[in-house]
Structure 1
Amino acid sequence: MALGQLHSLIDVPRGVKTAGTRNYYLTGAGVALHRAVQQLAVDLLTERGFQLLTFR
């Protein structure tokens, strides 16, 4: 948490104000890092034959 706040990757006070204790917002590079990890997981799964589905 301290490292994320130090590098402006997360915003704890805003998350707590909006949604209560133990909540936070990802900001800037934190969002990009989170998205990159998600994309890596999708890439690895699709390489192994999983098919992506979406709900409408």
Structure 2
Amino acid sequence: MTALLNARALLGGRIDWQALPVVAELIGFDDIEQLIEGLLILQDVINAQASD
């Protein structure tokens, strides 16, 4: 979870598709698909909390 939060922070709070490979390397994430899935879930949770 910490890696996902770090990735989100490095991406400026949004999913920047062009920056994902660089961010994945910076945080030591080997599986970019898993990173994308985690970021999308995190984004959904944050958006759901914001709309409550």
The answer to whether TM tops 0.5 is no
TM range (shorter): 0.3 to 0.5
| Normalised TM-score (structure 1) | 0.39
Higher strand content, 1 or 2: 1
The structure with the larger Rg is: 1
TM-score of the aligned structures, taking structure 2 as reference length: 0.42
Q: Comparing both chains, which one has the higher relative contact order based on Cα–Cα distances under 8 Å and sequence gaps of 6 or more?
A: 2
